[in-house]
Structure 1
Amino acid sequence: MRRITRIATVGIASAALALSATACGGKTSSEAGSDGGTKAAIAYDIGGRGDQSFNDAAYAGLAKAEKELGVKGTEAEPSEGEADPDKVQRLTSLARAGNNPVIGVGFAYAPAIAEVAPKFPDTTFGLIDDTSKTGKNIANLVFNEEQGSYLAGVAAAKVTKSNTVGFIGGVETPLIKKFEAGYVQGVKDTNKNVNVKVQYLTQPPDFGGFSKPDLGKAAAEGQLDAGADVIYAAAGLAGSGSIEAAAKAKKWAIGVDSDQYNQQGLAAYKESILTSVTKDVSDAVFNLIKSVKDGKPQSGEIRYGLDKDGVGLATSNPAFTKMADVTAAVEKAKADIIAGKIEVKTAP
């Protein structure tokens, strides 16, 4: 797999050269793909690969496509800094190099994909977590995050002993507010007497709340000091800091996006990760790549919810699965959401 660490703001030609210069196996961008093989690329969100969460889930989908479909994968990391101004150049370079599809990981790629996609009508662009920008060659890969978060709220309300739980959002955006809304509703529907403390790490246009574990740790410590004994963080890489804080306080953490109990980088804290709200970003990425390889590229909105296991609640921690009353409540809530008996809010 080819991995690009950064593409600096030095013009399209130089960016394309950066692609070829870091390619494994020594092929240039023009040479790679000349054998007719399918090439696919993902451009990471803030925090990049190694966040133990959102970006790593996207990488898993690309790795699966390499293994099962014989696809040649390329990864592109975000620029240094929180603004990351190089998205248009990054996507353009990936498309020019023959990658199809080119997938932007996260809603922050929406403006760049809207600008670049029309210039490459034969290339499919995947946009994860956003439906604001559409086009014939744009696939909007979106999830019902609020549904998985509702289940986390049910679990939190069932296990809390202090009747105080916490929610930490990386950046206060409409997407992260979906996580908050579902979680709070799940808590209150299960036990209206449980207090939910809500905190966001940064406000747009500062997106550093997705990339700074120290901010997540400090926020979690504040909630723990205020009596919270379960903390759910939807904060990307910053969420690892909240997990660390909860583990050191011997309280429960709830992970997000990936099954964080099984993330190697969080192994030291895994026993404190009660569960995780999962988004099947991996399969969404894989399915898009497969659709292009099969000659039937996806486009438009492709939504993943509880009914398709596109979101869910992880059961990797044996301590969680042994809590029969908790898991029963979660399963009932899941069935009721799928049946339409519970309508989960998408805004607080």
Structure 2
Amino acid sequence: MRRVSRIAVAGVATAALAVTVSACGSSSTSSKGGGESKGIGLAYDVGGKGDQSFNDAAYAGLQKAEKEFKIGGRDIEPQDGESDADKVQRLETLAKQGYNPIIGVGYSYAPAVKEVAAKYPKVTFGIIDDDTIKAKNVADMVFHEEQSSYLAGVTAARTTKKNHIGFIGGVDIPLIHKFEAGFVQGAQSVNPKIKIEKQYLTETAQEGGFSSPDKGENAANGQIDAGADVVYHAAGLSGQGVIKAAAEHKVWAIGVDSDQYEQSALAKYKDSILTSALKNVEGAVYDLAKSVIKDKKPLTGEIRGSLDNGGVGLADTNPTFQGDAGLQAALKKAEDGIKSGSIQVKTS
């Protein structure tokens, strides 16, 4: 299978995706903005830069846009226990400094993006993993995570030697339920009787479900001790602990969001990372920046990445994954079925 590439925005244009023309952002304190963009503003979700997953993918999009469009950028880390008011202040600071577009990396930014976007109507805002804002100057960048997770489930079910696999979600929320639902359905399409361990690390993000490698490691150790020999995580920074546990037990891990086999911080574990369910956050960030800075036609409305438009997929960098002809044939069949609609992937 081909690695996921940059989202083809034209391929996801729908009635819900309204492409509008607006002026670039301002470096003044005016609430309306105006003037030339200073560059991209990026506000990270819990876990921050260095998670080798979700946030790092957003940063890669910022870097690509900076280089290609010869612009600046500013990325800001989250704080422990921060409130929506803290997020509002962070976004307002970026707007006042003239950054445009400004992107909240994660669903937790929804209240802040909605509030600040209303104050700065000439600045384009983006939010990743939330589709509830629906404002004229906001791009709701979301994904069919269940589709890539279905392929991860097919991979796990065809790779396990024990007919026993595991799923670890960072936080027990609807977004992560999509990963679990797709994974379970994909695995059961191969073997309806396969045993699947399932665990969420925390009930809320504030408890560290996306930012605690030790929690991920402990959960993975438990699932592996129970018999799972392939473990898939959707847990952000906590997933590093899942991958560590898999490597120590010499079983397979399946990563998420970024190609974790290629991440330098995980290099010593890479031989245990079979593949990763990719979510092209990098492409979403880049495309929004391009629409504002180069095209002068900011993207707004819902923009949803899927298998069909390259917004989600599986990484194919591990030679073991690449070389399994039977697995590749099964994945091709599954991918074709999802694209044609003959396979309807559940989201819960």
1:301 corresponds in structure 2 to 302
1:341 alignment partner, SS class: coil
2:209 alignment partner, SS class: helix
Superposition CA RMSD, Å = 1.7
2:328 corresponds in structure 1 to 327
- Change in Cα spacing, 1:207 to 1:305, as seen in structure 2 (3 Å) is farther
195-204 or 85-94: which moved more? Answer: 85-94
Within 1, Cα distance between the matches of 2:257 and 2:57?
7
1:335 alignment partner, SS class: helix
1:134 corresponds in structure 2 to 134
2:151 corresponds in structure 1 to 151
Residue 133 of structure 2 aligns to which amino acid in structure 1? K
2:246 corresponds in structure 1 to 246
Residue 157 of structure 1 aligns to which amino acid in structure 2? A
TM normalised by structure 1 equals 0.89
Within 2, Cα distance between the matches of 1:153 and 1:266?
22
1:312 corresponds in structure 2 to 313
8 Å CA contact 2:278–2:313 kept in 1: the answer is yes
52-61 or 203-212: which moved more? Answer: 203-212
Residue 108 of structure 1 aligns to which amino acid in structure 2? S
1:13 corresponds in structure 2 to none
Residue 259 of structure 1 aligns to which amino acid in structure 2? D
1:183 corresponds in structure 2 to 183
Residue 301 of structure 1 aligns to which amino acid in structure 2? E
User: Larger relative contact order (C-alpha < 8 A, sep ≥ 6)?
Assistant: 2
Offset from partner CA, 1:262-306 (integer Å, 9 cap, x none): 001100000100000001100100000000112100000011100
Within 2, Cα distance between the matches of 1:214 and 1:47?
13
Q: How does 1:71-150 map to 2 (within 5 A)?
A: 71-81=71-81, 86-150=86-150
Alpha-carbon distance, 1:80 to partner: 2.6
Within 2, Cα distance between the matches of 1:54 and 1:205?
14
Alpha-carbon distance, 1:97 to partner: 0.7
Structure 1: unaligned runs, 5 residues or longer: 1-28
Offset from partner CA, 1:311-336 (integer Å, 9 cap, x none): 00100000111111111111110011
Residue 309 of structure 2 aligns to which amino acid in structure 1? K
1:269 corresponds in structure 2 to 269
Alpha-carbon distance, 1:34 to partner: 11
Within 1, Cα distance between the matches of 2:329 and 2:217?
31
Alpha-carbon distance, 1:205 to partner: 5.8
8 Å CA contact 1:82–1:207 kept in 2: the answer is no
Offset from partner CA, 1:238-260 (integer Å, 9 cap, x none): 00000000011000000000000
2:100 alignment partner, SS class: coil
TM normalised by structure 2 equals 0.89
Aligned-pair identity in percent equals 59
Alpha-carbon distance, 1:38 to partner: 4.3
- Change in Cα spacing, 1:34 to 1:82, as seen in structure 2 (3 Å) is closer
1:17 corresponds in structure 2 to none
Residue 344 of structure 1 aligns to which amino acid in structure 2? V
Residue 341 of structure 2 aligns to which amino acid in structure 1? G
Residue 300 of structure 1 aligns to which amino acid in structure 2? G
Within 2, Cα distance between the matches of 1:196 and 1:238?
20
Residue 230 of structure 1 aligns to which amino acid in structure 2? V
Residue 112 of structure 1 aligns to which amino acid in structure 2? A
- Change in Cα spacing, 1:54 to 1:37, as seen in structure 2 (3 Å) is same
Alpha-carbon distance, 1:40 to partner: 1.0
